[in-house]
Amino acid sequence: MQRHADLWIARGLTLGPVVLAFPVATAAVYAFGTDRNATADLLSVVYSVGLFSAFTTSLWPLPSLRSWSRAERIGSAALLFMVVSYATHLSWELVWLTLHDTIAASRDAAWAYPWWAYIDGGDLRYAEASPTLLTMEVLSITNGLMGSLGLWLWLRSGREDRRGVLLCMATAVVHLYSTSLYFGSEILAGMPNVDTTSFLDSWIKFGLANAPWIVFPWFVLSWGVHELRGSD
């Protein structure tokens, strides 16, 4: 880890604010009375920019990475994306899927703010829980479970188990499908659940916040192909 301290620092500086943003925003609204919509806007910027930036840190011109090949840089980005993605599926999304009716009825409750910060302007479908959205979220959570199993198999084997690589690659395909459906179904319907008059709501909350699941699955597929070729 010390050999790549600058990479870990970069990831800490980009992911750290993302992790802290939700409890800090909740405290700001419910303990200090800040405007919930303005706070949600700021939260969306911190989350979206921080997350996307973190996933690209291995591509930065950091001194300790000068000797890394393109495949090593892509692989490092892919692994970080998978860890964060699977954690997101099995936390924020799993809780929403389990408690979506209660969350929808608890707009003014502090515990529900991490979901309402996105629902307010970002995508009202999460307040309505349509069958299509519920199906996509079940798919995402299943993806998180399968991906976690794949990473575990791969790491437990000393990065040799092809089954783990194939499972992770399969989750990348599902990410591309489900996120394309998520974006496409809303855009083709004319964006009825997103405030298109707001740059932050349409381009940051709805757009950039979900963009990693369109961009970085390709990194996972590239990493997987490299791993499979190396194990031949």
- Model pLDDT, residue 232: 53
- Model pLDDT, residue 4: 86
- Model pLDDT, residue 230: 79
- Model pLDDT, residue 122: 83
Instruction: Name the token pair of 83.
Output: 């860890």
Cα 170 to Cα 176: distance, rounded to the nearest angstrom: 10
- Model pLDDT, residue 3: 78
Q: What is the pLDDT of residues 127-174, one digit of tens each?
A: 999 999 999 999 999 999 999 999 999 999 999 999 999 999 999 999
Cα 217 to Cα 171: distance, rounded to the nearest angstrom: 8
Contact at 8 Å (CB) between 226 and 169?
A: no
- Model pLDDT, residue 120: 86
Contact at 8 Å (CB) between 7 and 58?
A: yes
pLDDT-flagged residues of the chain (< 50): none
Cα 82 to Cα 101: distance, rounded to the nearest angstrom: 29
In DSSP notation, 122-152 reads T-THHHH--HHHHHHHHHHHHHHHHHHHHHH
- Model pLDDT, residue 2: 59
Owning domain of residue 19: 2-230
Q: How many CA atoms lie within 13 A of 12 on its CB side?
A: 6
Mean pLDDT value across the chain? 94
- Model pLDDT, residue 231: 57
Contacts of 6-9 with C-beta under 8 Å, sequence gap 24+, read: 6/62, 6/63, 6/64, 6/65, 7/57, 7/58, 7/62, 7/64, 7/65, 7/76
- In the chain, the number of structural domains is 1
Closest by CA to 154, choosing from 74, 227, 68, 218, is: 227
The DSSP code for 232 is -
- Model pLDDT, residue 197: 92
Cα 222 to Cα 194: distance, rounded to the nearest angstrom: 33
